Amino acid sequence: MGSWIGAWICALAWLGSAGPGLPAPTQSLQPAPKLSDVDARLSRWEESLDLDLPKEVLVDGEASVRGKGDLVGNARAVALVARALARSGRTEDALELLKASSAARPLEVITAERARLALEQDDLDGVIDLLWDSSAKTLKTPAIPDAWWIAGRARARQGNWDQVPALLEHYLELEPRSAQAASSWHLLAQAALRRNDGARAQFCVAREEALGRWHSYYNARRIQVREHPREPLPRLGLAQLLLEAEELARARAVLDELLAITPEFAQGWLALGETQRKQSDLAGARASYDKALVLDPGLDIARYNRAVLAKLQGRDEDARKDLEVLLAGPAGRDRRFAAAHLDFARLMAKSGDLERSAAAYARYQEFGGKEKL
């Protein structure tokens, strides 16, 4: 089975991330659950802030968290509006809003946002007073991921580098792909250098650079989706980035939206099949590959993926048919599909057709293949 897994991984590298080894079959999963209206609205605000568009939050956000607004008691909404106010140059209004929202829940979110504002004003003692429990030597608000990042930044600015690693490493465990993740790795690299741990510093710098690149693409895709909401390619690119990050539920949500808008987009079904495969939904993956190939019979990666899936499920005849079609076309002359020749050679050997097996194996070797038949 190992060679088939390796071949699939190679083919799927064109779609997005290779990902881990193939999981065992399970029952089909339901489509990704839709966010509630409030959650979707707040997620949109968070995205606007990530993209440095705070005024988009304030369009309806400010009225929603004041007076008789519908989100007055929602601490997450209040915090996001306060952040948007501060980033729009209205820091005093942000502070006033947080002070007036002490009844919002969970209160820890309000506390963390107050600490964020204190950090932006370089009030480092204020950050520590809000977040740090001196007697317990831990955070007062451990359930709020950003609190770990804010406290870590404050400790670094204070020069208390011995406390930085524990705070930021825990933050990265909670939020490995957040907008602040790259800067957290940067500070961890600085902390490592201060300990004369060059190897750790080098590792942290590599993570910082990789996440920085990923976020630049991620933000570009999100902007494209906003600018061209009915175009399929920006959403497909966004889903591929989320697949690369192993954010499977989020990738699935993006693809569900994509296919609701453009249900005849074959590459969207291919991407959905890969997402379902990674979610251990092999029945769903097979159906998605089937749909992709109905829409575009020349989509070679979908055909190869379907063949690999058939082989793993013991459907050798289905696998053989797909590989025959695949290798009879342009893919048969494409070095990237070299492993498909090996796969076909092994199937033919298993069925006793040694002549076709030898021919397919020879083709595999022509492409530089080294595995034994």
Going by pLDDT thresholds of 50, 70 and 90, the confidence category of residue 298 is very high
| In-domain check, residue 304 | yes
Query: How many CA atoms within 13 Å lie on the side-chain side of 305?
Result: 36
Q: Is the pLDDT of residue 33 over 80?
A: no
Domain end marker among 221, 256, 282: 221
Q: Is the pLDDT of residue 178 over 50?
A: yes
Q: Is the pLDDT of residue 11 over 80?
A: no
Q: Is the pLDDT of residue 35 over 90?
A: no
| In-domain check, residue 359 | yes
| In-domain check, residue 263 | no
Going by pLDDT thresholds of 50, 70 and 90, the confidence category of residue 34 is low
Domain with 327 in it: what CATH number?
Answer: 1.25.40.10
Which tens digit of pLDDT belongs to each residue from 69-122?
A: 999 999 999 999 999 999 999 999 999 999 999 999 999 999 999 999 999 999
| In-domain check, residue 291 | yes
Q: Is the pLDDT of residue 4 over 50?
A: no
Query: How many CA atoms within 13 Å lie on the side-chain side of 113?
Result: 29
- Do residues 204 and 286 share a domain? no
Whole domain around residue 290: which residue ranges? 2-29+274-366
Which amino acid appears at position 328 of this protein? A
- Supply the pLDDT for residue 129: 97
| In-domain check, residue 86 | no
- Supply the pLDDT for residue 173: 97
The arithmetic mean of pLDDT across residues 290-319, rounded, is 96
C-beta neighbour count of 311 within 10 angstroms: 22
Q: Is the pLDDT of residue 218 over 70?
A: yes
How far apart (Å, rounded) are the C-alpha atoms in residues 323 and 331?
A: 10
Which tens digit of pLDDT belongs to each residue from 160-169?
A: 999 999 999 9
Domain count, the chain: 2
3-state secondary structure (DSSP) of residue 5: helix
Domain end marker among 159, 190, 221: 221
> Residues 265, 232: contact at Cβ < 8 Å?
yes
Structure tokens at 147: 């609190």
Structure tokens at 162: 């011995």
The fraction of the chain above a pLDDT of 70, given in percent, is 91
Which tens digit of pLDDT belongs to each residue from 251-283?
A: 999 999 999 999 999 999 999 999 999 999 999
3-class SS shares of the chain: helix, strand, coil, % to 5: 70, 0, 25
Q: Which residues pair with 138 in a beta bridge?
A: 133
Structure tokens at 135: 């007697």
Return the closest-CA partner of residue 64 out of 96, 38, 99: 38
| In-domain check, residue 64 | no
The arithmetic mean of pLDDT across residues 286-309, rounded, is 97
Structure tokens at 313: 């499920």
| In-domain check, residue 146 | yes
Helix axes 75-87, 107-120, angle to 10 degrees: 10
- Supply the pLDDT for residue 36: 81
| In-domain check, residue 285 | yes
Mean pLDDT, the chain, rounded, equals 91
The DSSP code for 337 is G
